[in-house]
Structure 1
Amino acid sequence: MKPEKLNRVRIELLAKLAEYGVELDFDSKKLIVSDLKSMQKQLAQHTNLGGIKYEDKFKDYLAKPEEIDIIQINPYLEIVETPNQRELWAYATSFWSIPVTTGYGRRIRFLVFDEQNHKLIGIFGLSDPVIGLGIRDQYIGWTKEQKLQRLYNCMTAYILGAVPPYNLILGGKLIALCLMFPEVRKVFHNKYKDKISLISGENKQAHLLYIDTLGAFGKSAIYNRLMNWKFLGYTKGQSHLHITANGSWELIKQVVPEDFFNTYKFGQGSNWKMRVLKKGLRELGFSEDMVSIGWKRGYYSCPLAANWQEYLLGESNIPQWKNFSKNELIEYWQNRWILPRLEKLNNNLKGN
């Protein structure tokens, strides 16, 4: 690429970063973010508001406070498949105060409704996990070959939460429990049982044994002390989202050689998008340190089988499911989180 074009891309990239409060310190060659949460909020405004155009169509899908009896909340799931469901999903993501990604590779999205009023409680989406994630890999304890064989049986909750007004009454914790409904792993099995893995080229056993997620800012109140969700520590504070959102990714791709851009296969590195980003930054004369902005995220695991570790290590081929039932999970949510706080939650709902 000619020097003048590289310079133009550099200028455009820095301008896009500045739109949400990210500045380059030319002395240290690092990005400076004075307020990480403010940056996230501004970035979300760039990335999440496309669904606002559906507000008139779907605003009645949100419950009014008087339509909710907290004790009677009874969630049911719908898979996002139709155009109408996809539009509702987009509208729901417009309430997120952090940027919503589209997930990696395989993807299953769920809308969660309340049986008592058929209003939307919230959403969650599962996608392929990042291939290289140190904190996860150390916890599981697998080798590269074991991971090649069994990463297929893992998914990441890349988005999860409740929409108003359920977000005021611990609806997020209920959504996190919905991931354990037996229906979720059955949907996974039915969708992928006849599919060939892109990583290994094999037709693998479509058993979903392990779900994980990352808190938006350090630890997450949603998963804190929640049944079957375990906090394991923090990521290293590197991220590509602040340099790949808002059109920045399209700029980066312009300067990365095509042969390098196609290095997405397992075994060619830990995180394809991060590798491509770092290559692009080098081509532009920037430091790879631009990916380090101190955005450490809490890592949480949610195994669905009692022998999840043995299975992921290849020591077992038959899952021993924990067999959470929907009713047991709802009852746990009510007894552990709702009844002790019922008066306060009702006041939250009423706006007092």
Structure 2
Amino acid sequence: MDLKNEILQEIERLSVKKHQEETKSSYCPKNDPSFYSNLFWNSSSYDDVERIQLELIPVENEDQRDLFNFIRHNISSMPQCETPGRVMSVLIHDKYSKRFLGIIQLTTDLLKSQFKDEFIGFDEKKRGQLKKHIRDHSANLSICVPVQPFGFDFCGGKLLAMLAFSIELHQFYEMKYSKSLALITTTSIHGKSIQYDRLKQLKFIGYTKGYGTSHIPVSFMDKAYRFLEENYPKFNVKKQSKWQSLRFLAQQLHIDSNQLFYHGDQRGIYCGWTGSNTKEFLLKKQTDLNRDKLQSVETITEFWKERWAKQRATHLKNQNT
């Protein structure tokens, strides 16, 4: 069977559930699982929560990347895929216990949504003028994963989501990319998100339509890339995003691209401004960006301890007595 027919047959069999594990299987840890477990914050005591002194550690070397990927692939239930463009990966570390609490990652915001356009106040007639400006000054919180049982016992995911609006994180991002961020977007795994619910930094604005690429396995993409390289070298597949490559593939195979992209899993969309005039800045109505909604890591952490971790610990204690 030639490569083209192989690809067409696999398209017929694409399934989110069938390929979920394969989308997460490309990572090979450098160490045994016990090595990583010993690096994770693992207390169930609120007294230990009170002692937490957070710091953000940008991923800059191989060991940090390995730890980040271990958490990403072994704790998160989200199918994994690489994102083109800007990527900033961060480890969340407790200086007191010298252990890690989770990971977050900001990437280029590629989300296309009518709800997002309405949230921004985007005028379709000005899309060409504003598209690059909005993309340059927006980012997607594509990964937000606490280690367990920290996440469950103390609403650790809420802490990590709030840290996407920390002064320190945005300073790291600006140093790396020379871009200041006005808007942070993110999506849930399924439906509305408990993790993002009731956070003042993020607002639920609607649902995705159930299209994407995260369900498409590595084995299929390898064949797709090989087919495009062999038959359409001018397309320059190495410089294209996964979405662009699949859309081009569908065109060449004369199939509806929805057959590739539809996974049927609607996800909640959340957006948050970094300042009081960021909407006007994104729409080029103002030239200076005032990111006055950002807070220090320390301020965010202390608020989370009192508002979320303490209440969660009390609730679980009452349930077990």
TM over 0.5: yes
* 1:239 paired residue among 202, 208, 212: 212
Other-structure match for 1:164:
148
- Cα deviation, residue 339, structure 1: 2.6
Matches within 5 A, 1:30-45: 39=17, 43-44=20-21
Q: Deviations over 1:80-107 (max 9, x none)?
A: 0011101111111121112122323111
Other-structure match for 1:277:
246
What is the identity, as a one-letter code, of the residue corresponding to 1:216? Answer: I
Other-structure match for 2:27:
50
- Cα deviation, residue 152, structure 1: 0.5
- Cα deviation, residue 236, structure 1: 1.4
CA–CA distance in 2 between the matches of 1:87 and 1:347? 38
Q: Does 1:89 align with 2:61?
A: no
Query: What is the DSSP-based 3-state SS (H/G/I as helix, E as strand, rest coil) of the residue aligned with 2:27?
Result: helix
CA contact (8 A) 1:127 1:157 kept: yes
Other-structure match for 2:42:
64
What is the identity, as a one-letter code, of the residue corresponding to 1:305? Answer: G
Change beyond 3 A, Cα 1:296–1:12: closer
* 1:218 paired residue among 191, 197, 202: 191
Change beyond 3 A, Cα 1:247–1:188: same
Unaligned runs of 5+ in 1: 23-35, 194-205, 266-271
Query: What is the DSSP-based 3-state SS (H/G/I as helix, E as strand, rest coil) of the residue aligned with 2:50?
Result: helix
* 1:152 paired residue among 136, 151, 154: 136
Larger relative contact order (C-alpha < 8 A, sep ≥ 6)? 2
- Cα deviation, residue 123, structure 1: 0.2
Q: TM-score, normalised by structure 2?
A: 0.85
Matches within 5 A, 1:1-352: 4-12=2-10, 17=14, 22=15, 39=17, 43-44=20-21, 46-48=23-25, 50-54=27-31, 55-65=33-43, 69-93=48-72, 94-130=74-110, 132-142=112-122, 143-144=126-127, 145-168=129-152, 169-193=154-178, 206-243=179-216, 245-256=217-228, 257-260=232-235, 273-284=242-253, 286-290=255-259, 291-322=261-292, 323-345=294-316
CA–CA distance in 2 between the matches of 1:66 and 1:296? 33
- Cα deviation, residue 311, structure 1: 0.6
CA–CA distance in 1 between the matches of 2:2 and 2:165? 54
CA contact (8 A) 2:55 2:297 kept: no
CA contact (8 A) 2:22 2:218 kept: no
Q: Deviations over 1:231-272 (max 9, x none)?
A: 1101111122223x232112223344333456979xxxxxx5
- Cα deviation, residue 187, structure 1: 0.8
- Cα deviation, residue 302, structure 1: 1.9
Q: Deviations over 1:1-32 (max 9, x none)?
A: xx8442133335556x3xxxx2xxxxxxxxxx
**Structure 1 vs Structure 2 CA RMSD:** 2.8
Residue range with higher mean Cα deviation, 160-169 or 286-295: 286-295
CA contact (8 A) 2:7 2:220 kept: no
What is the identity, as a one-letter code, of the residue corresponding to 2:164? Answer: L
CA contact (8 A) 1:51 1:92 kept: no
- Cα deviation, residue 327, structure 1: 3.0
CA contact (8 A) 1:78 1:111 kept: yes
CA contact (8 A) 2:105 2:143 kept: yes
- Cα deviation, residue 109, structure 1: 0.6
CA–CA distance in 2 between the matches of 1:164 and 1:62? 8
CA contact (8 A) 2:138 2:183 kept: yes
CA–CA distance in 2 between the matches of 1:234 and 1:320? 29
Aligned length: 308
Unaligned runs of 5+ in 2: none
Q: TM-score, normalised by structure 1?
A: 0.78
- Cα deviation, residue 212, structure 1: 0.8
CA–CA distance in 1 between the matches of 2:134 and 2:76? 32
What is the identity, as a one-letter code, of the residue corresponding to 1:170? Answer: C
- Cα deviation, residue 230, structure 1: 0.6
